[in-house]
Amino acid sequence: MGSAVSKVASQPARLADRTSKSLDEKELLRDTRNIDVAPSVPKSTNGSIQLSNLQAWESIAAADPKIQLARTVLAHSNVKTTLTSREAGIAIPHVFNTEVEFKPGPVTNQKSSGRCWLFATTNVIRYEVMRKLKLKDFQCSQSYLFFWDKLNKSNYYLELSIENADLPVDDRLVNFLADDLISDGGQWDMVVNLLEIYGLVPQLTYPESYHSSASSPLNTLLKAKLREHALTLRALSTTLRADTSISSERAQAILRARKEQLMQEVYTIMTATLGVPPRPDVPFTWEYYNEDGKYCKWEGTPLEFYKAFTTRYPPSECFSLINDPRNDYNTLYTVDKLGNVWGGRPVLYVNTVSAELKAAVVRTIKAGQPVFFGCDVGQFSSSAKDVGIMDTAYHQYEQAFNITLDLTKAQRLQTNESAMTHAMVISGVHVDEKTGQAVRFKVENSWGDESCYKGYMVMSDKWFDEFVYQVVVHKSFAPKELVKVYEAGDAVVLPAWDPMGALA
């Protein structure tokens, strides 16, 4: 679920061995009985840190042998790589009894960009491409979708600038929208918008450029230009509203005509840095070798390519199940002002318990289909070479510092401690033969084969409960009652700055 790279949290999140129990944290949030009573008399009467505070804190730390050992070791080493559990790594091996049979290649690499959601999507789609065409290695063009997404996000921001031109420039909403206006990240419904309008092409047809693999310089330039354009449109809107002879419809038309002139500059910058992409309605020819080394050729438009290789489980028929314990379950949610294609498919989530997400994943994997999912990848995990682990017991912060990390999943969302920061693909599960429940998950990442365990990670059941926020499944693999909630379309609108608006 990032503006430059998929964001990795820098702080530990919670008690390592704490279970989620029912995962219904709403009652816990309202329960104040477990709040510790603080000392009634402070050492500092004005709230600043006093020397007496330091003396008291140091006397406690100095008397603790574990803290003294931590001071000896951690002053010279990385806390995240040092305080790891060997036992946790052994307990969840990279071995799975239920996997998608087809093994794709190569392991993809988003490099210095925040395109994980586009890589996760194309990594799911390529399974069917490779099956049908009998390919040994294949990648869809992530850059192709990246171009159309960035162009549409630029247009989306300028449309929002027109829509909110009557608000003060320092209004919270206007300020928020101007902050990360064309993030590299995105959500499932946003990629469906791109696929349905622009289709898809092989990577060789529209390969990587410097600025697709390292997006920061391009983003910096585009943001500066778009913020300037937004002010231009706001000024024009003010002038038009002051002229009573101009109808609102005519004013809207004038503003959009001006916006299209401004978008020419955006298009010029993007085509110079990323290359001119294939038109979605113009045929292209792709030549390739199949797994037997035989020469083959495919001809058609990007839209035809997309439709030809997404017949089993069309992306437009898939939707997001989320686990957000702050909000009511069995309810449809959306986020205000969140999107990429103006007038396109809205971002929608059906909120439910974590167990439903896991069950849907297992059903999908057993049917031979990988799963797009969104999580907070930096929490209690390691992407180190030959490691690749996500487990709540992996980091031993509590033992080293004599602390407890007690935030619940809901509280982490409420306090900005956690959010959906990265999208990946689940391609296997290990199912307990007695209970039928998944106990660990095989995760295909997009950080190259030199990271993690040959590019893959193993995720524990407890980590899933705590840090997985979203799975995308076809309607046929979701509970019927949740499909009904989705299809009813009656969504609760969360504010634009809600953590569920985080872009993986």
Reduce the DSSP state of residue 468 to 3 states and report it: strand
Helix (H) or strand (E) holding 372: strand 371-375
Give the SS3 label for residue 441: strand
Alpha carbons 166 and 172: distance in angstroms, whole number:
13
N-terminal to C-terminal alpha carbon distance within the chain: 1
Cβ proximity of 138 and 104 under 8 Å: yes
Question: What phi and psi values does residue 321 have, to the nearest 5 degrees?
Answer: -100, 135
Half-sphere exposure of 274 (CA within 13 A, CB side): 30
Cβ partners under 8 Å of residue 406, min gap 6: 14, 15, 18
Alpha carbon distance 464, 441 (integer Å): 9
| CA–CA gap between residue 461 and residue 454 (Å, rounded) | 21
Beta-carbon contacts of 497 under 8 Å, excluding residues fewer than 6 positions away, are 172, 176
E strand intervals along 376-485: 381-382, 389-390, 422-431, 438-444, 456-460, 468-474
**Tokens representing residue 370 in the block:** 């990988």
Main-chain phi, psi angles of 441, to 5 degrees: -130, 140
Q: Which helix (H) or strand (E) holds 257?
A: helix 248-274
User: Is the peptide bond prior to 106 cis by the omega test (within 30 degrees of 0)?
Assistant: yes
Distance CA 128, CA 134 (A): 10
User: Which letter, b or e, does each residue of 210-249 get, where b requires 16 or more Cβ atoms within 10 Å of its Cβ?
Assistant: ebbbebeebbeebbeebeebbebbbebbeebeeeeeeeee
HSE at residue 448, side-chain half, CA atoms within 13 A, is 10
Angle between the 216-242 and 142-163 helix axes, to the nearest 10 degrees?
A: 30
C-alpha span between 354 and 466 (Å, rounded): 9
**Annotated catalytic sites, by residue?**
116, 422, 445
